[in-house]
Structure 1
Amino acid sequence: MTKPILKNKERIDQLFSTDVKIIQNKDVFSYSVDSVLLSRFPKIPSKGLVVDLCSGNGAVGLFAATQTKAKIVEIELQERLADMGRRSIELNQLENQVTMVEDNLSNLLDHVPRSGVDLILCNPPYFKASVHSKKNLSPHYLLARHEVATNLEDICAVSQQALKSNGRLALVHRPERFMEIIDTLKKYKLAPKRLQFVYPKQNKEANMLLVEAIKDGSLEGLKILPPLIVHKDNGEYTDQVAAMYFGTDAQPQAYMYVLECADGSLYTGYTTNLKKRLKTHNAGKGAKYTKSRLPVKLLYWEAFNHKNAAMKAEKRFKQKKRAEKLAYIKSQTDESQ
């Protein structure tokens, strides 16, 4: 991979189940779980032409690129995001496969042949634009989240024109717009064929909807897939989602740990390397609290598939009283035996 030129506040994130790296900037745009789910939802054609509409910084199309030899055209209206996408394409050395086009999606047929696209991926603005909209002050997020520059109707209309007969459109959207989505797809002869509701946690309401439709397909045979749960109760990804992020053979990415200090007190932290962190603590360099209470020993730890989950577990554990902490450790240790 080539070394990219990062601009102010930019960082590089990686989907660890692949080698793909994405240039991100939280002030402008950052891909989230919806982009990952969309890139893994439809069957990606092995060859042909794939289009990523409303591509943002190009994450969905780049994630899809690892699954196919098809040419991928990404369409993004915002100059800043399109620039980030182009540099991510260069970073991953995918210039021969992926192209970023800075344009309104209504001009899609200026860049791809009519009735020539095998698959369209789209992570569109979710919210209708109105005087009552809770609009983000950032113009980048305003366009990404609200139907200002495009809307569901425009997306379905241009998809109908660009897709081959039996070509497919895959969308991620909001469940509360389910009926509107189905009606609009049918209006443009895009037959819904696969549908999956996504839930942030068990027993929570769905907050995302994945839909796949086929151009000129029969309106019969819609499949409702099993619910997809994103997080376990402890905040880490479920096994299905973790596999998308880290691969099926992924090792733990982070740990919440509890130390017993020389004076009997407890210290809680998180780390990505338990052995190294314990050694650092006992060298007097781990934390101000443990430095005066050496030596320390590892009393308990939990493994997580991403750092944020370990940090949340650390925060929850620190809120417990000492007796509650010891009772929790005992209950978890007893369960594992």
Structure 2
Amino acid sequence: MKIKNTWVKNSLGYDNNIYIYQDKKMFNYSVDTILLANLTSLNRKTKRILEIGTNNCALSIFLSQRSKNIKIDAIEIQKEAIELAKYNIEMNKLENRINLIHNDFNNWWKIYTKNQGKKYDVIICNPPFYRKETKIKKNISKSLLQATHEISLTIDQIIEGSSKIINQKGYLSMIIPPERLVDCFVSLRKYCFEPKRIIMIHPRVKQKAILAFVEARFQTGWGTHFEPNLYLHPDDESKHEYLEEIIRLYKPIKIK
């Protein structure tokens, strides 16, 4: 496959010897991708994972480094993103562990359940952050708009579909803006998920949260736990490096 002029090669995390190509015009991975991959609960019993909306496959590729025993299905609606994801999987020699699915999740899960597809232990998603009616920035590409706004897929649709294809007590994890937490909680309860772990992510100690990690479990007991906040940068606003705790999370946490 020929590398396009708009593709740029980047390292994925720190000291991992993992690289991916990203497209300047499309969604690019950031700290939320890394945190989602490492904060999600995995254990030795975890075998089958689904990523909804993989885009360039950064999340699935990073997640795959946590254990050699997991198999990941990664679904994506955009043709251009699938092409890029396929190249990244091949470059990292993960063809036997990450299976790409080019489809619309809203249609795919219905066909999957009709065919009695095997259910997943973990479903992970870095969903579109913004409601469809949110004011859109000028000059945003169509592919980036689809990745960041609820044009083709909403949080409610993600949770509904996930409820049909996940094992009992399976994990569903997402990172969303704090402003979407109530939307998320309402949908989780509606489809028999219980939000179990919440972690608020702040740029600095004195600044408000910009992200929220949410991990829910399907058909399990009630009870939500707010874990200690994560802070990305030092208090001194002139310093932009990550704190040691965040740097540690930029390396895959191996399953013991």
Shift of 1:20: 2.2
On the 8 A contact 2:8/2:24 being kept in 1, the answer is no
Provide structure 1 residue ranges, at least 5 long, that are not aligned to the other structure: 249-337
On the 8 A contact 1:114/1:161 being kept in 2, the answer is no
Going from structure 1 to structure 2, the CA distance change for 1:29 and 1:180 (only over 3 Å counts) comes to closer
| SS of equivalent to 1:210 | strand
Matching residue within 21, 28, 31 for 1:30: 28
Q: What is the aligned length?
A: 243
Going from structure 1 to structure 2, the CA distance change for 1:243 and 1:162 (only over 3 Å counts) comes to same
Cα distance in structure 2, aligned partners of 1:52 and 1:153:
16
| SS of equivalent to 2:232 | strand
1:217 maps onto 2:214 in alignment: no
Instruction: Spell out, residue by residue over 1:32-54, the C-alpha distance to the aligned partner (whole angstroms, 9 max, x if none).
Output: 11101100111224442100111
Matching residue within 207, 215, 233 for 2:210: 207
Instruction: Spell out, residue by residue over 1:200-219, the C-alpha distance to the aligned partner (whole angstroms, 9 max, x if none).
Output: 12211100000000000111
Cα distance in structure 2, aligned partners of 1:246 and 1:71:
19
On the 8 A contact 1:51/1:74 being kept in 2, the answer is yes
Cα distance in structure 2, aligned partners of 1:11 and 1:45:
33
Instruction: Spell out, residue by residue over 1:266-317, the C-alpha distance to the aligned partner (whole angstroms, 9 max, x if none).
Output: xxxxxxxxxxxxxxxxxxxxxxxxxxxxxxxxxxxxxxxxxxxxxxxxxxxx
Shift of 1:115: 6.0
| AA at the equivalent of 2:56 | N
Matching residue within 11, 14, 17 for 1:16: 14
Cα distance in structure 1, aligned partners of 2:251 and 2:125:
23
Going from structure 1 to structure 2, the CA distance change for 1:212 and 1:39 (only over 3 Å counts) comes to same
Matching residue within 3, 7, 10 for 1:6: 3
| AA at the equivalent of 2:241 | E
- Structure 2 length normalisation: TM-score? 0.89
Cα distance in structure 1, aligned partners of 2:18 and 2:49:
18
| AA at the equivalent of 1:24 | Q
What fraction of aligned residue pairs are identical, expressed as a percent?
A: 26
Matching residue within 233, 240, 243 for 1:235: 240
| SS of equivalent to 1:194 | strand
Shift of 1:55: 1.1
| SS of equivalent to 2:28 | coil
Match of 2:58 in 1: 59
Match of 1:245 in 2: 250
- Name the structure, 1 or 2, with higher relative contact order (CA <8 Å, separation 6+): 2
Shift of 1:179: 1.4
Cα distance in structure 2, aligned partners of 1:193 and 1:165:
14
Going from structure 1 to structure 2, the CA distance change for 1:114 and 1:246 (only over 3 Å counts) comes to closer
Going from structure 1 to structure 2, the CA distance change for 1:45 and 1:100 (only over 3 Å counts) comes to farther
| AA at the equivalent of 2:196 | K
Instruction: Spell out, residue by residue over 1:60-100, the C-alpha distance to the aligned partner (whole angstroms, 9 max, x if none).
Output: 11111011211101111111111111111000000000011
Match of 2:155 in 1: 152
1:11-160 correspondence runs (5 A): 11-14=8-11, 15-46=13-44, 47-68=46-67, 69-109=69-109, 110=111, 114=117, 116-130=119-133, 132-135=134-137, 137-160=140-163
| AA at the equivalent of 1:73 | D
Flag the structure with larger Rg: 1
| AA at the equivalent of 1:94 | L
User: RMSD in angstroms over aligned alpha carbons?
Assistant: 1.9
Going from structure 1 to structure 2, the CA distance change for 1:115 and 1:96 (only over 3 Å counts) comes to closer
| AA at the equivalent of 1:39 | A
Shift of 1:135: 4.3
On the 8 A contact 2:66/2:252 being kept in 1, the answer is no
On the 8 A contact 1:39/1:64 being kept in 2, the answer is yes
Shift of 1:102: 1.2
